[in-house]
Structure 1
Amino acid sequence: MNLLLARGANVSDQDGSGTPALHRATHARHKAMVSFLPENAANVEEKDEDSCTALTIAVKGKFEAGIKLLLSKGCPVNFSYKPRVSNTVSCT
């Protein structure tokens, strides 16, 4: 991971649908990346195209280790969890 940063990788990059790297790592339950990205300037308050933070994704996925990591990195807890009929999360 450090090699990628040394070669110019951007921890704030988003994929084609506007999903930040931290959100993808959280969704994939990748503890090392969820820890690494904020330590290297990824914005823990950044929202995706659905206005969700990485913490919202961790809560939705019941990713306890990710929740603890994100809270320790300063991720805000001011979101509302509103499951829709389709079992998706609506963020505000």
Structure 2
Amino acid sequence: MKILKAVLLIVFLAAISNVNAQDKTKAEKKLKWMDKDKNGTVSLEEMKIFYKGKTNKKGEPLKVDLMFLGLDKNNDEQITLEELKQPIDWKLAKQKSKEKK
């Protein structure tokens, strides 16, 4: 029984590390595609160009401005690789959007 628990723990930890590696790879690829000026970050303008014409599952245009605000956690108006790895914080994005008005 102890061996089974140990094996399950090892498999679980391996699966988690594999998922994290995949997320990192996706974020790195997305940064590479969006970063037109190759400075290692993504500006709002670069993000708008990347998502131009793209829609959500409902067929509605993506809210790129809100996406950007929800990713830019440190408010430096640039999205870094670390920020891109994190999920969009829609609550933060809506709060920042209200503050700008």
> Normalising by the residue count of structure 2, what TM-score does the alignment of the two structures yield?
0.28
Please give the TM-score of this superposition, normalised by the length of structure 1.
Answer: 0.30
**Larger radius of gyration, structure 1 or 2?**
2
Structure with the higher strand share, 1 or 2:
1
